[in-house]
């Protein structure tokens, strides 16, 4: 569902290495199957793990969490380690698709920020190990925007008509409107969702485009003045362009947390735990965060980052903003239908 821009031009690929035979001798390497989200790991990490543990990693990527869910729940492949978002972890734990990890085998779990541990869907971290986190916020062009940018209200400012970009994703766009109105982005209150629908229909004439990947080009070219964007892309663009800045609105936003988990039908739970612990180490967490552009839940890795990163409130939020941010909760189909109806009404409105 999220960060589709992050994987533009990515073609999901699966590299399977079959056992090679020389005479009657067979490789003694273990093999694990790992399913990760898009371009979500630093170069060389997989190879370092393979060399250190004498393991072959069959590595596949997916472009949205629903694809991952189908892949795991189908049972066609016995995945050993999979990346799960917050709402999808919630769903898969409820459905019994994940197994408990042996936390003694993942000592690097102790290096994680307390705020990323003990999520409502996994209060004791029995099933998940935090890996990457971030937000949805606003990026704006300081040369084109003369108003303060600290609130979702700027996305409704008529001064920037046809210079506004909105993510084409129902939970994200509706969540923006709900936060602007002071509501939870997980609400299933029909009155609140009706208000969000009306706000988005009111905003629609101001929007240049609903989309995803193209936001980066539109912002750097100056065709768009203000945009919703995922924090990794927003912070990277701001780093590369001095006239761009990424902020998290004062009303709060979606704070997402991706974690590693082990499916119930994993072939090699022990090696999967070694892999998860390896990518969760301070040094590897640092490398991954630096290359991918998202923030790390590993507090020791965060402390190693440059001061301008550690102190960037668009990356590591102050507590008063963090308290207003929310992770997406898994909504059963009958509740999700409420969101689908709102988004259909917005997209078809004149």
Q: Within its chain, how far is the Cα of 137 from the centroid? A: 13
Count up the domains in the chain and report the number: 2
Band the pLDDT of 318: cuts 50, 70, 90. confident
Helices 333-348 + 170-180 axis angle, to 10 = 80
pLDDT at 271 over 90: yes
Domain that holds residue 128: 4-133+257-314
Band the pLDDT of 39: cuts 50, 70, 90. confident
Q: What is the DSSP letter of 122?
A: B
Band the pLDDT of 85: cuts 50, 70, 90. very high
| CATH code of the domain in which 62 resides | 3.40.190.10
Residues 242, 114, single domain; the answer is: no
**Block residue for tokens 């768009």:** 224
pLDDT at 283 over 60: yes
Residues 229, 333, single domain; the answer is: yes
Average pLDDT, the chain: 91
What separation in angstroms does the CA of 190 have from each of 183, 197, 199, 203, 326?
12, 10, 14, 20, 19
Residues 53, 161, single domain; the answer is: no
Band the pLDDT of 154: cuts 50, 70, 90. very high
Residues 304, 191, single domain; the answer is: no
Contact between 273 and 284 (Cβ < 8 Å)? no
What are the tens digits of pLDDT across the range 182-228? 999 999 999 999 999 999 999 999 999 999 889 999 999 999 999 99
* Mean pLDDT along residues 317-338: 92
Residues 225, 339, single domain; the answer is: yes
What separation in angstroms does the CA of 150 have from each of 52, 147, 154, 233, 340?
47, 9, 8, 18, 28
pTM: 0.83
- Nearest-angstrom CA–CA distance, 320 and 266: 40
* Mean pLDDT along residues 282-287: 97
* Mean pLDDT along residues 53-70: 94
Q: Which two tokens stand for residue 26?
A: 């067979």
* Mean pLDDT along residues 35-55: 94
Band the pLDDT of 29: cuts 50, 70, 90. confident
Q: From the CB of residue 239, how many other CB atoms can be counted at a distance below 10 Å? A: 14
Q: Which two tokens stand for residue 237?
A: 């663009």
């Amino acid at each position: 569902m999220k960060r589709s821009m992050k994987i533009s031009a990515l073609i999901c690929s699966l590299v399977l290495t079959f056992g090679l035979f020389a005479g009657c001798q067979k490789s003694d390497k273990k093999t694990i199957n790992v399913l990760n989200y898009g371009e979500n790991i630093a170069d060389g990490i997989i190879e370092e793990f393979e060399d250190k543990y004498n393991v072959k990693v069959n590595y596949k990527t997916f472009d949205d969490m629903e694809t991952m869910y189908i892949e795991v729940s189908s049972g066609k492949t016995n995945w050993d380690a999979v990346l799960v978002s917050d709402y999808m972890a919630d769903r898969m734990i409820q459905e019994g698709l994940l197994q408990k990890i042996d936390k003694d085998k993942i000592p690097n779990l102790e290096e994680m920020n307390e705020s990323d541990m003990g999520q409502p869907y996994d209060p004791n971290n029995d099933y998940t190990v935090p890996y990457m986190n971030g937000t949805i916020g606003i990026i704006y062009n300081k040369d084109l925007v003369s108003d303060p940018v600290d609130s979702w209200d700027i996305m409704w400012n008529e001064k920037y008509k046809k210079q506004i970009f909105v993510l084409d994703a129902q939970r994200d766009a509706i969540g923006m409107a709900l936060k602007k109105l002071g509501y939870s982005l997980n609400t299933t209150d029909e009155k609140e969702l009706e208000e969000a629908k009306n706000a988005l229909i009111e905003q629609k004439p101001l929007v240049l485009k609903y989309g995803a990947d193209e936001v980066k080009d539109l912002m750097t070219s100056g065709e768009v003045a203000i945009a919703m964007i995922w924090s990794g892309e927003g912070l990277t663009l701001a780093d590369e362009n001095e006239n761009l800045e990424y902020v998290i609105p004062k009303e709060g936003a979606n704070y997402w947390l991706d974690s590693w988990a082990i499916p119930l039908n994993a072939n090699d739970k022990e090696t999967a735990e070694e892999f998860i612990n390896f990518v969760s180490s301070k040094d590897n967490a640092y490398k991954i965060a630096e290359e991918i552009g998202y923030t790390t839940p590993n507090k020791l890795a965060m402390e190693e980052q440059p001061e301008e990163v550690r102190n960037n409130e668009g990356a590591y939020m102050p507590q008063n903003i963090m308290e207003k941010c929310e992770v997406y909760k898994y909504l059963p189909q009958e509740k999700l239908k409420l969101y689908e109806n709102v988004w259909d009404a917005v997209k078809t409105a004149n």
